[in-house]
Structure 1
């Protein structure tokens, strides 16, 4: 499939927005589960977004990038949806993502 760069960027942006919407709707899926299964989580996405803004000289705080990903302030999301990690989840995190 041959598409121009502008269209490719638009498609990628639309797919990213759909991913964010999916993650916002799946509040039952904890970040530690995402990390253990996929190697990234909502916080990773927010960090990548901030890093890209920084690389382009655009002002974006860590709180702003997290709100862009979570759809609400991070602290509110944690209060509403984050559950304590189980011993099994923590052990899996140690094995697969030491130092994250």
Structure 2
């Protein structure tokens, strides 16, 4: 497979992942994704921002999130985000400590 085809396939897979998370599974909360997979929609938008910045494109966190989410964070939160339960918060603390090596 040539490099350009690989890039196009990777981009298509990313677009499909974005659609899946932003349109098909809006019921899945970011905290659940973080607890289970160690990344969430915000991570994906940050990676997008970092890729842009590496290529000399000036993009801040809010711009990247709006591009990734297809709306502002305020709109996303209003439409889809629910309050994290104590159990979700506890699981996040454990997951975060395990992922960064901090057991405190």
Considering the TM-score relative to the shorter chain, is it more than 0.5?
yes
Match of 2:74 in 1: 75
Higher relative contact order (CA 8 A, sep 6+): 1
Match of 1:16 in 2: 14
Match of 2:50 in 1: 51
C-alpha deviations, 1:38-61, integer Å up to 9, x for none?
100000001111111111111212
CA RMSD of aligned residues (A): 1.4
| Distance of 2:87 and 2:62 partners within structure 1 | 29
Runs of 4+ in 1 over 4 A off after TM superposition: none
Moved more, 48-57 or 11-20: 48-57
Provide the aligned length of Structure 1 versus Structure 2.
98
| Distance of 1:6 and 1:32 partners within structure 2 | 35
Match of 1:41 in 2: 40
| Distance of 2:9 and 2:73 partners within structure 1 | 27
| Distance of 1:35 and 1:63 partners within structure 2 | 20
TM-score between the two structures when normalised by the length of structure 2: 0.89
Unaligned runs of 5+ in 2: none
| Distance of 2:16 and 2:68 partners within structure 1 | 11
Unaligned runs of 5+ in 1: none
TM-score between the two structures when normalised by the length of structure 1: 0.92
